[in-house]
Amino acid sequence: MGQREEARFSALLDEIEQLNNIGLTLSWDMRVAMPPAAGAYRGREMGYLARRRHALSTSKEMEELLLALEADPPEDPILRRAVGDARRTFDRLRGVPGELLSAYADHNLRTEHAWPAARAANDYESVRPLLEREFAYKRELAACCGFADDPLTGLMDEWEEGDTRAETDRLFAQLKGALVPLVRALRELPPPDRSPLVGVFPREGQKALCREILTAVGFDFDRGRVDESAHPYTTFNHRRDVRITCRYFEDDFTRAVGSSLHEGGHAIYWQGLGPELDGTPLARSASLPMDESQARFLECLLGRSLPFWEWALPLARRRFPALRDASPEAFWRGLNGLRLSPLRLGSDEASYSLHILLRYELEKALFDGTLSFRELPGAWNELSAAYLGVSPQNDGEGVLQDMHWFSGYIGYFQSYALGNVYACQFLRAMERDVPDLFDQVRRGEFGAVKAWNRANIHRFGAMKPARQLLRDATGEAPDAGRYIDYLREKYAQIYGQRI
């Protein structure tokens, strides 16, 4: 009896995963290759898949199997964990009408499809009604899941189990108290010379350089691919099919390198999932903040370090003659100096989390009803001036710069800040276990980095809650102090004085 139920449960989970992966493939196609006129029909396809996944996840069969397997837990630890994960999904979704999920999936696709043209035209008003409805759907979905009084916590809990608005408020209060004065102090200092980064960098050379770097850090091109899209993105279909996108700017090749490393960090995580997790809902990252920790670790903690550019700058020189006179140290200082920009993706590390705080505070105000969607661009610009000292010149530099809200990633931005915090804690633990870590990076050797991450993080997928994974790997609970210390120490080195 037990084995039959376990087999039925595994088959049901596998079908749900197959539907999910089909949806992800269709999403990738929409962002990379879909003809513009196909959006409405693609919305119907995505709505069907959402409806079908919901029906299976909350079916009578699923309920009966969960009750049976909870009464007689499987011996297999993966299956036991999958039962708990499926129970959490069942309890969250059983109050959500399938028609609502289907309608939302259709609307979400149409909103994301409308975003690139609106950004290109600096025309927020053209998508404002779509965005307002996007938030309304999210509020309705959170209420169906039991979070009517606190929709933001309900949405955060989707990205990392147990995350709450109150806890995030405490984290951001700590970060704001440290980072606003840090950025203010750096603004008063002479900025590092950026001339070593100036030049014209042809797109094809950038693509070749990014591919070389991604190969070195461990991205498996046999199980992944790189394309181009309006916003860098990673699609996690399966550990054998992980797709990333990049964007290239001919006046600044470091943006393509940074986004390739960021998305590569996500992708290497998913490529490193344990094969025994295939076909289960555990074949994913432990949480979105944990996923972001891997992206920010590779992009910033390694990819913005001096040892990294001591290795990577000679690779870039082979393709870009404009870099022939740049020394690694001068290049590193120019790359990492305070760069106050209205654009998150153009920001430096010190100001980056202030971009995240800005978005989080706007989300809170929108859900609390203290800010209207008509007022959103102005409020965005005011907070940008207050926190960063710069104001967007248009909607494309402001409220339209990110695809996330228009893609349904609402109640999500705190994941980036948590990712920064986790990444710094992982770095401390990795340096303890690999004392010559940055000597290896200087030589372009990333095998120890990949091996440590795979052993301590990647292979587990969602077998452990994210914060247990963090504690097991580092011995610590989430601690923003590590991140703050990292930034202060780094900027003291860059500017040559204590900050």
Structure tokens at 247: 């964007």
What 3 state SS string does 59-70 have? CHHHHHHHHHHH
Q: What is the pLDDT of residue 225?
A: 96
Does the residue 153 lie in any domain? no
CATH of the domain at 410: 1.10.1370.30
pLDDT along the chain (499 residues), means of 10: 87 94 90 86 88 94 96 95 95 90 89 94 97 97 94 93 92 94 94 94 97 98 94 90 95 96 98 95 95 97 98 97 94 95 91 96 97 98 94 96 95 94 98 98 98 98 96 95 96 88
SS3 percent helix, strand, coil of the chain, rounded to 5, is 70, 5, 30
**One domain, residues 173 and 133:** no
Q: What is the pLDDT of residue 345?
A: 83
**One domain, residues 351 and 389:** yes
Per-residue pLDDT tens digits for 381-425:
999 999 999 999 999 999 999 999 999 999 999 999 999 999 999
**One domain, residues 128 and 177:** no
**One domain, residues 418 and 333:** yes
Amino acid at 221: F
Q: What is the pLDDT of residue 144?
A: 94
C-alpha dist (Å) from residue 49 to 24, 45, 135, 243: 10, 6, 21, 20
Structure tokens at 359: 């978005």
Residue recorded with tokens 């153009």: 346
How many residues does the structure list for the chain?
Answer: 499
- The count of domains in the chain is 2
Question: Nearest 5 degrees, angle CA 402-CA 406-CA 409?
Answer: 85
Q: Give me the torsion for CA of 63, 65, 69, 72, rounded to 10°.
A: 110
Query: Which of the residues 263, 292, 310, 349 is marked catalytic?
Result: 263
Structure tokens at 65: 């199997």
Q: What is the pLDDT of residue 441?
A: 98
- Domain ends where: 116, 148, 180? 148
> Quick check: is 134 catalytic?
no
Residue recorded with tokens 């500017």: 495
**One domain, residues 396 and 467:** yes
Q: What is the pLDDT of residue 98?
A: 86
The residues, any chain, with a CB within 8 Å of residue 460's CB and separated by 6 or more, are 274, 286, 469
Q: What is the pLDDT of residue 240?
A: 95
Does the residue 242 lie in any domain? yes
Query: What own/partner pairs with CB < 8 Å and gap ≥ 24 does 247-252 have?
Result: 248/203, 248/206, 248/207, 250/200, 250/201, 250/202, 250/203, 250/206, 251/199, 251/200, 251/201, 252/197, 252/201
**One domain, residues 99 and 195:** no
The domain in which residue 480 lies consists of: 166-495
Per-residue pLDDT tens digits for 151-204:
999 999 989 988 999 999 999 999 999 999 999 999 999 999 999 999 999 999
The residues, any chain, with a CB within 8 Å of residue 318's CB and separated by 6 or more, are none
Closest CA to 407 of 220, 163, 235, 154: 235
